[in-house]
Amino acid sequence: MSIQAKPLHSVGVPMKRKEDPRFIQGKGHYVDDLSFPGMLYLSLVRSTYPHAEIKNIDISEAMKVPGVKAVITGKDLEAAGLGWLPTFHGFDKQMVLAIGKVLFQYQEVAAVFAETRAAAIDGAEAVQVDYAPLPVVADPFTSKTDKVLLRPDREAKTNHIFHWEVGDKEGTARAMASSPKRIKQRLWFQRCHPAPLEPCGCVAYFDAMGRLQFHVTSQAPHVYRTALSLVTGIPEDKIHVMSPDLGGGFGNKVPVYPGYVCAIVGALKIGRPVKWIETRTENLTSTGFARDYHMDVEIGATADGQVTALHVATTADHGAFDAAADPSKYPAGIFGIVTGSYTFPVAHAEVDAYFTNKAPGGIAYRCSFRVTEASYAIERGMDILADELGMDAVELRKKNFIRKDQFPYPSALGFTYDSGDYHKTLDVALEKIGYTALLKEQAEKRARGELMGIGFSTFTEVVGAGPSKHFDILGIKMFDSAEIRIHPTGSGIVRAGTKSQGQGHETTWAQIVAEELGLDPQNIMVEEGDTDTAPYGLGTYASRSTPVAGAAITMAARRIREKARKIAAHLLEVGEGDVEWTDYKFQVKGVPSKTVTMKQVAFAAYTDMAQNEPGLEATYYYDPPNMTYPNGAYVAVVDVDRDTGETKVRRFLAVDDCGIVINPMIVEGQIHGGLTEGFAMAFIQEIQYDAEGNNLNTNFTDYLVPTTLETPHWETANTVTASPHHPMGAKGVGESPNVGSPAAFVNAVIDALSPLGVRHIDMPLTRDKVWRAIRDAEAKKA
């Protein structure tokens, strides 16, 4: 497959940010805006205990609340064969409503259906549940002991969910043992939450034909349709899933949640439409959290800093049910990318996951299933190694980078990196940030006792699942799809199996069609998220849209171009072999004056029946031959106040390489958003539980989302190394800033504190944690 040598025609054309209406195609409606005659509201009763037996559920008072129509419990669902949901991962199942006992605080216990939202909430408050508390397991290390068995429903009588490993265990141990330099550090990537602007929700009803109409906040509508059919037994053709504007997803809207199932059951049982909209607290406490990986990172090296071995052993907290949305072959997602941008000759990674009395999840929060954790591990690890060696962190990275001429590069953990020029990307970053001047400034400040830090993260990402031979969700292979129809007047529609949550597919998919067919992007309608009209696809998460659906769109457009060539030959009255596609139109070879445009061809496709088959449309299902491997060089410059522990991010530069860029403005927006999330995780966000299993971050006054006041100014730049196997040469980018930035922030703060002897602090680097680390270090020195 050839790469387009020239960049797309929109590349480099600066968007006129505000005034250009071409690039705003969003429809603008949310699930919560929907209303249907006779619609009922659903409110869920939630557990106050993290672990308790349910002695009794009394719904009599709730049924007396004016407006309440019905209450259902776990037992009702169990009787209907709907007590448990399979999790996407396929290894586990999750209670829809608690049966017998609750396993985490805020778990769904009963569902109340009422005429108004207020009545549903009042009804839920009136449900009386008698609990008998059980001992709580609040961390995976306690869980390991199996003293309290959390899931007696499972065949295996242990809290251990899985052990997964990749690489050469013995070879790594040998290489590590003979390495002159070694570092070992436990790093915890704390539990976080994607906290999308709009929480999850749905409206379910059965239409006059008995067909389920399901409007839902889903990043993967087709997978929902299949999963619902398998779980409920409703034939798939009798299920219509529609995913409207989502208000952000970030992985939070991949799993199927109990609220959705209850809404469908309510609609079936009562015969009226049912709406369920989560509150912010419900979103933060019960739907897909992210991370919670405790990683022991060990790196071996020669005395002059050549890496020799990498070993990472992880203890993962998966909460009460294993609801991680990972492909079935990869229970720890694509954690194997942990060798990063470096030439490790040998490596071994292993992950052990445990149940705890916490909310289930482990979703790919703007991340290819655990790539963020892996990237943080290696990028922190390299800085700790640099510190151990007394070597500049940049020099160490450059010494160990995979060189440009080594691509395609087979990593020690089984990936084949497609392309990259890591030295160049880092050099651009060093030049733009003014590294030499910053080092000088830092030396001067250090001499005065001031704490200034410069932190790097030179990460490699892996995005674009499939290929289908390796990746599936619930057995459904991870390809993606596109259908393009060009109308007689030269406008058209493109439908894809992906689902934008704000990433701007409405713009970029139109641009791809326009680029391939020489049409005007503003007259290419983009539609996603409706299972009745879009071709089957696996959805949008893990930055897979451009690598997979973007490729499908390109290939579908090229199919159209091939048919159009025949029509053009007919119009130009020459043989097909005499027609070439040049400068966005068909031309008789060597005769620039004899051309037809795609618009003319489109008209002829419907009006001139002399050519064989009328119409101008095509569908393409794309199964990628490999993932794409975007990379970046990020630099954070921070000042830390020695007296208060306050950190100020003075500068942050992100140089990204995502191959050919479709739309620079959208890519820049993606980077800004992801950096803001990375900043939040590095400095302020953690879903905390106390030892009794109480969730301490149940709303936005406890779980902080940065505003413009806290958010640093972002500087961005890019390098372009095309993907050799993607038909446009593009790689994914949406998650890169979230994946790459946490390590840069932490590396910068630790660099600032390194004169005091501080080697590591776990995120989030709150003021009090940094202050404590400074005081402890000073006390130790004294």
- Assess 666 for contact with ligand CDP (CB under 6 A): yes
Residue whose CB is less far from ligand CDP, 198 or 383: 198
Residue whose CB is less far from ligand CDP, 119 or 517: 517
CB 489 within 8 A of CB 603: yes
| Tokens representing residue 606 in the block | 């419907």
Catalytic (active site) residue 306: no
Q: In angstroms, what is the minimal distance from the CB of 508 to ligand CDP?
A: 3
Quote the DSSP letter at residue 546: I
Q: How many helices (H) and strands (E) does the chain have?
A: 18, 32
Residue whose CB is less far from ligand CDP, 293 or 509: 509
Catalytic (active site) residue 735: yes
User: Which residue is catalytic, options 198, 298, 461, 735?
Assistant: 735
Query: Which range of residues in 401-409, 419-427, 540-548, 740-748 is near ligand CDP by CB under 6 A?
Result: 540-548
Of 319, 380, 272, 369, which Cα lies nearest the Cα of 151?
Answer: 319
Walk across the sheet containing 585-588 and list its strands.
579-582, 585-588, 591-596
Query: Which range of residues in 476-484, 520-528, 539-547, 743-751 is near ligand CDP by CB under 6 A?
Result: 539-547
Query: Which range of residues in 79-87, 384-392, 537-545, 551-559 is near ligand CDP by CB under 6 A?
Result: 537-545
User: Which residue is catalytic, options 366, 397, 561, 651?
Assistant: 366
Backbone φ and ψ for 106, nearest 5 degrees, come out as 80, 10
Between CA 315 and CA 313 the distance in angstroms is: 7
Between CA 91 and CA 323 the distance in angstroms is: 9
Query: Scanning residues 727 to 756, which ones bind ligand CDP (CB under 6 A)?
Result: 730-734
Backbone φ and ψ for 620, nearest 5 degrees, come out as -145, 130
Q: In angstroms, what is the minimal distance from the CB of 520 to ligand CDP?
A: 18
| Tokens representing residue 210 in the block | 């008995």
Q: In angstroms, what is the minimal distance from the CB of 219 to ligand CDP?
A: 9
Between CA 393 and CA 454 the distance in angstroms is: 10
Pattern 600-639, ligand CDP, x by CB under 6 A: ----------------------------------------
Residue whose CB is less far from ligand CDP, 385 or 662: 662
- Assess 544 for contact with ligand CDP (CB under 6 A): yes
CB 148 within 8 A of CB 320: no
In the chain, how long is the greatest CA-to-CA distance? 93
CB 677 within 8 A of CB 248: no
- Assess 540 for contact with ligand CDP (CB under 6 A): yes
Strand-pairing partners, residue 581, are: 586
Query: Which range of residues in 30-38, 638-646, 653-661, 771-779 is near ligand CDP by CB under 6 A?
Result: 653-661
Query: Which range of residues in 53-61, 134-142, 472-480, 652-660 is near ligand CDP by CB under 6 A?
Result: 652-660
Residue whose CB is less far from ligand CDP, 384 or 671: 671
The per-residue b/e assignment along 120-151, b for 16 or more CB within 10 angstroms, e otherwise, is: bbbbbebbebebeebebbbbbebbeeeeeebb
Angle at which helices 393-400 and 422-433 pack, to 10 degrees?
160
Task: Single out the residue of 212, 223, 667, 681 in contact with ligand CDP (rule: CB under 6 A).
Answer: 667
- Assess 659 for contact with ligand CDP (CB under 6 A): yes
- Assess 670 for contact with ligand CDP (CB under 6 A): yes
Quote the DSSP letter at residue 545: I
| Tokens representing residue 610 in the block | 């002399």
Q: In angstroms, what is the minimal distance from the CB of 499 to ligand CDP?
A: 9
Q: In angstroms, what is the minimal distance from the CB of 540 to ligand CDP?
A: 5
Query: Which range of residues in 128-136, 488-496, 657-665, 699-707 is near ligand CDP by CB under 6 A?
Result: 657-665
Residue whose CB is less far from ligand CDP, 732 or 742: 732
User: Which residue is catalytic, options 200, 367, 379, 380?
Assistant: 367
- Assess 264 for contact with ligand CDP (CB under 6 A): no
Q: In angstroms, what is the minimal distance from the CB of 727 to ligand CDP?
A: 12
Q: With contacts defined by CB under 6 A, how many residues of the chain interact with ligand CDP?
A: 24
Residue whose CB is less far from ligand CDP, 114 or 367: 367
- Assess 452 for contact with ligand CDP (CB under 6 A): no
Non-local (6+) Cβ contacts of 448 within 8 A are none
Q: In angstroms, what is the minimal distance from the CB of 258 to ligand CDP?
A: 26
Between CA 263 and CA 75 the distance in angstroms is: 16
- Assess 661 for contact with ligand CDP (CB under 6 A): yes
Of 90, 539, 106, 121, which Cα lies nearest the Cα of 325?
Answer: 90
Catalytic (active site) residue 46: no
Inter-CA distances, 93 with 20, 47, 509, 517, 645, Å: 48, 19, 36, 46, 44
The identity of residue 310, as a single letter, is L
Inter-CA distances, 684 with 169, 370, 688, 707, Å: 36, 20, 12, 12
| Tokens representing residue 265 in the block | 């059951």
Residue whose CB is less far from ligand CDP, 224 or 355: 224
Q: In angstroms, what is the minimal distance from the CB of 552 to ligand CDP?
A: 12
Catalytic (active site) residue 105: no
| Tokens representing residue 153 in the block | 């429903």
Quote the DSSP letter at residue 432: H
Q: In angstroms, what is the minimal distance from the CB of 481 to ligand CDP?
A: 14
CB 724 within 8 A of CB 3: yes
Pattern 497-536, ligand CDP, x by CB under 6 A: ------xxx--x----------------------------
Quote the DSSP letter at residue 730: B
Residue whose CB is less far from ligand CDP, 412 or 661: 661
For residue 671, give the 3-state DSSP assignment.
Answer: helix
- Assess 663 for contact with ligand CDP (CB under 6 A): yes
- Assess 466 for contact with ligand CDP (CB under 6 A): no
- Assess 545 for contact with ligand CDP (CB under 6 A): yes
Residue whose CB is less far from ligand CDP, 166 or 658: 658
Between CA 577 and CA 649 the distance in angstroms is: 60
* β-strands 492-496, 524-528 pairing: parallel
Task: Single out the residue of 287, 411, 546, 587 in contact with ligand CDP (rule: CB under 6 A).
Answer: 546
Binding site for ligand CDP (CB under 6 A): 503-505, 508, 540, 543-546, 550, 658-663, 666-667, 670, 730-734
Q: Would you please indicate which residues are annotated as catalytic (active-site) residues? A: 219, 366-367, 735
